[in-house]
Structure 1
């Protein structure tokens, strides 16, 4: 007959066993969608049609590949348990924004891939905790501006890819902290060479030419001239750029401010545009069969754990009453 000590142990072991089972559910061998290599600590979740980061990625993962999925957004805590991660690949998704603090726990990260997404901007200080980063991929996005000091903490960065974005300028001193930089891709951006703000980048390129590769390829909007060739006389304008991509033109603000409500005509808004305004998006991906199975197996595991735990509690109560 089972004693009270053994019953008490069951109360501890059974929930722990279920948690361990759930933690392994990311990998194919346990019914998950990703391929996991226990020896190399690599987890490959590429090309799975994922719309969310799989839960329960092993905490000792060194390399995590999530490219070519359908990720539109990330939870702020998506990677907070992965402190040993050195390589994270999020290329080829549909990310439009990054939540502040999403990378803060990845203190060992060496390489971060964010190519071929739909990023229009970056949160301030988003890379501040990635002090060991040597490679950062941000090409083929829609970046229109960079926050002040966004690269200041990346003192070990060697390669930075900003190819094919919508950048017109970079903040003053944007690259001053990148003393280890050997490659920087700036081409295929609409650099505005008529504005005084471009002079920092132009002077920096001239200074680093020969030590940082590929920087000479940056050209003014329209491809009329290389950025490094711009003079102070050519960049004479004091341009002001909006902080967001949704800034309202001042002419519209003035018109609205000076008009009565009765003077403003009603404009028909197509239904699809109205949905876009509200942020509505049709779901483009349903859970795959392995994901469904993983959810079902996790639910059944939880129910089994609760049943066994309840039985152990009842046994302890029964034993104590007899005593």
Structure 2
């Protein structure tokens, strides 16, 4: 006959076993694609040829690695549940753009890695919520410009990597709020040193020389001269670079407005481009058949857990009544 102490021990063992199993199931609800560690709260989904972020990654994840996949886009709410995330890596994917607000809930993020993607621009305010960020790499993308104020909220940032992009200049004051910066990489960009726009960067590099490492490596396009050596006489032109937004020139609008409808040729618009123009986005990653089956098994496990607990409690009560 089992005593009350033995019954209590059995109850604890059953509870612990079920909770451990439940944590493992939660970590593998994506069909076992990712490697998860319940103790360190790390989730590694690298090298899986993923085209979408797996669903049901634990919301208490601290470190999420999505490197070396085939992600070409992200839903705007891709990371909204991961408020405890401190490390996010999306290196070596095929990301062409970042949606507005994609990082807004990552208020504890300290390390963000986006190198070796295909980003040509950044949305305004994309990093504004990342006030604890200390490391940011955008290395080896195709960035042609930076939005005004893109780094204004990153007062804790220590390392910024912008090398190997297509930057020709940066907005006035773009680095002024980076009060904690200790390392910056600006090399391997086609910095246009003939335009006045380069003077802010040149003066900023000169001012931070000796306090920010690697800052002197930025060179003018062609490697003819260091950016910090450029003078006002050399950067005399008022250059205008193409805007990264899809603005329609005023002349075209005027022409279209003054033309008859019959004069305007009907141009075929690919469905994909039309959807992008309207801001259409594919729905978030839907659960696959294995995920649904695992969800059902999770519910069955939960029911079994409560049955076992109820039986153990009833046994303890029955034993105490006899005593």
Structure 2 length as normaliser, TM-score?
0.74
Per-residue deviation, 1:225: 1.3
| Native 8 Å contact 1:26 1:32 kept in 2 | no
Greater Cα shift, 255-264 or 126-135: 255-264
1:138-184 CA-to-partner distances (Å, cap 9, x unmatched) read: 00111111110000110010000001011111110011111111110
Are positions 1:204 and 2:204 aligned together? yes
CA RMSD in angstroms, aligned pairs only: 3.2
Per-residue deviation, 1:265: 9.0
Per-residue deviation, 1:57: 1.5
Give the secondary structure class of the aligned counterpart of 2:225: coil
1:260-299 equivalence runs, <5 A: 292-298=289-295
State how far apart, in whole Å, the 1-side matches of 2:264 and 2:175 are. 47
State how far apart, in whole Å, the 2-side matches of 1:242 and 1:27 are. 46
Number of the residue aligned with 2:190: 190
| Native 8 Å contact 1:25 1:294 kept in 2 | no
CA, structure 1 residues 25+242, in 2 after alignment: closer, same or farther (shift >3 Å)?
farther
State how far apart, in whole Å, the 1-side matches of 2:288 and 2:23 are. 14
Count of residues in correspondence between the two structures: 275
Number of the residue aligned with 2:233: 233
Number of the residue aligned with 1:144: 144
Number of the residue aligned with 1:105: 105
| Native 8 Å contact 1:95 1:118 kept in 2 | yes
Number of the residue aligned with 2:315: none
Number of the residue aligned with 1:165: 165
Give the secondary structure class of the aligned counterpart of 1:43: strand
Give the secondary structure class of the aligned counterpart of 1:297: helix
CA, structure 1 residues 303+29, in 2 after alignment: closer, same or farther (shift >3 Å)?
closer
Number of the residue aligned with 2:80: 80
Give the secondary structure class of the aligned counterpart of 1:79: coil
Give the secondary structure class of the aligned counterpart of 1:153: coil
Name structure 2 gaps, 5 residues minimum: 1-19, 277-284, 302-323
| Native 8 Å contact 1:111 1:136 kept in 2 | yes
